[in-house]
Amino acid sequence: MDDLLIIVLAAGKGTRMNSSRNKMLHGLAGRPLIKHVVDTSRELTDDIVCVVGHQAEKVRGAAGEEVEFVFQEDQQGTGHAVWQAEEYIRSHSGDTLVLYGDTPLVTAETLKDYINNHRRRQAGMSILTAELDDPAGYGRILRDESGSIMDIVEEHDCRGEEAQIKEINAGIYCFASQLLHEALKQIDNDNAQNEYYLTDCLYYIKEKAELASAEGDPAEIIGINDRSDLAAAEKVMQRRIKSAHLDRGVTLIDPERTYIEKRVEIGRDTTIYPGVTLRGETRIGRECLLEPGCQLKDARLAEKVNVLQGSVIRKSRIERETSVGPYAYIRPGCSIARGCKIGDFVELKKASVGEGSKVPHLTYVGDAEIGSGCNVGAGTVFANYDGENKHKTVLGDGVFVGSNTTLVAPLKLEDGAKTGAGSVVVDDVKSKTTVLGVPARFYKRED
C-alpha cells in the first residue's frame, strides 16, 4: 500500500511463556512468531521497522534482513517502544500501522480493509477492536452514548464495570504519522504500571482529528502470552493451512489429525492419511500417497510417489513413481530416481539411487552411489565408517547384491557385478563378475 510505515513491537521478554527464549522466537506452523508478522507486513509495504530488546540479535535473525531495527533498552510500555522509531515516524508523511510481534494470525486482507477504512474517514487514529466472551488480558474500549470511543482502559487499570466490557482493544493501530509523532511527546506514565501507553495518544489526537474503529475477527487477534495461547493459535493456523490445501485439490482423510507447516506445498490429487507430519519447505507433487505416520521435512517429492506407513524423509529428493517404506528412513542428502523401490526398514544416508533400482528391505545404505536397475538384497549393510572417516561405495548399473552382504567402503562394484548371499566384500568387483564368501572372492564371470 502506498505511503505506509509499519512498526512491529517485539522487544518484550514474554515471561509468561516460562522459557529461556524470547517469545518472538517460539514457533507457529514452523516459523517464529515474529516472522509471521513480518511476512504479513511485507504484503502491505516495504517500509517495516521492528522494535527489539530482549535477545535482540536472535529476534533480528528470525525477522529477516529486509527489515529496519531499533533497540529498546528498557521496556517502559508500548508508547515508549514506538518512540524508539521516532526518526522514522518524524520523516514519514503517510500513515503508520503499529502491530505486535506476538499477534501472528491477523491477515493482510484484514489489515488492508482496516487501513482503507482509516483513509476513507481521514482519521487521525484508528483502533482495531473485537468482541470477546472472555476479555481478560485485554484493554477495554469505552464508548459514549453516541458510540464514539472515549477511552481505552488497560487491563491493569480496569475498575468495576469496566472489567465486564466485552469489546477489547486488539492492539493494532493506524495513525496519521505526524499526529502520532506529536502525540507521543504528550503521553506520561501516570498509571498502575508506570508505563507509557501508546493508547494514551488518543487524548491528544481526538482533539485534532477523527478517531475511527473497525471490528476484527476474534480468531485473528489472538495475542500469544503463554503456551496455552500458542496452542490455540496453532489450531487456528492449522485450520487455515489445511483449508487452503483442500481448496487446491488435496485429499486430507482426517485434517484434524494431520500437521502441515506453512511453507509446505502439495500438488493436486495427492492423498494424505491421518498422522502425517509435513514440515519445513517440503514440496509434494501431484497424485502422491502419504500413508499414516509419515514424517517429511524439507523433502522434495515428484509426481506419483508413494510414501508408505511410518516412513521418514529429511532433506532429500524422490523422483516420480517411486515407493518408499513402510518404515523407511531417508536421511538428509539422498536422491532417489524414478521408479525405484525403497522398502521396509531401509535407512539411506547421503545416498543416490539410480532409476528403477530396488532396496527392498532391512538394509543400511550410507555414503553410496547406486546405479540404475540394481537390486540390493535384504540385510545388506554398506559399511561406510572405519572408526575415523566415512568412505563411499559405488554400484554400477545392473548390480545384484545378495542378501546379508556387507560392502566395506571404499568400494566399487562395476556394471552387472553380483555378490553371493552373506558375503563380506572388501575389494572392488569387476563388471559382470560374481564374488562370494568371507572375505568375498572371485566365483565366476558372465560373458
* The CA-based dihedral angle spanning residues 323, 326, 332, 336, taken in that order and rounded to the nearest 10 degrees: -20
Flag whether 364 is marked binding.
yes
Flag whether 197 is marked binding.
no
Flag whether 72 is marked binding.
yes
Flag whether 378 is marked binding.
yes
Flag whether 55 is marked binding.
no
Flag whether 10 is marked binding.
yes
Flag whether 431 is marked binding.
no
Flag whether 385 is marked binding.
yes
Flag whether 163 is marked binding.
no
Flag whether 9 is marked binding.
yes
Flag whether 102 is marked binding.
yes
Flag whether 11 is marked binding.
yes
Flag whether 383 is marked binding.
no
Flag whether 259 is marked binding.
no
Question: Cell numbers at residue 348, please?
Answer: 539411506
For residues 58 and 25, is the Cβ–Cβ distance under 8 A? yes
Catalytic one among 92, 181, 245, 361?
361
**Residue 26 known to be catalytic:** no
Flag whether 114 is marked binding.
no
Flag whether 389 is marked binding.
no
The Cα 445–Cα 283 span in angstroms is: 44
Flag whether 204 is marked binding.
no
Sole residue written with cell 519445513: 280
Provide the β-strand partners of residue 82. Answer: none
Q: Which long-range contacts (CB under 8 A, 24 or more apart) does 337-342 make?
A: 337/372, 338/302
Binding-site residue positions for acetyl-CoA: 378, 384-385, 403, 421
Binding-site residue positions for Mg(2+): 102, 225
Catalytic residues, by residue number, are 361
Binding-site residue positions for UDP-N-acetyl-alpha-D-glucosamine: 9-12, 23, 72, 77-78, 100-102, 139, 154, 169, 225, 331, 349, 364, 375
Binding-site residue positions: 9-12, 23, 72, 77-78, 100-102, 139, 154, 169, 225, 331, 349, 364, 375, 378, 384-385, 403, 421
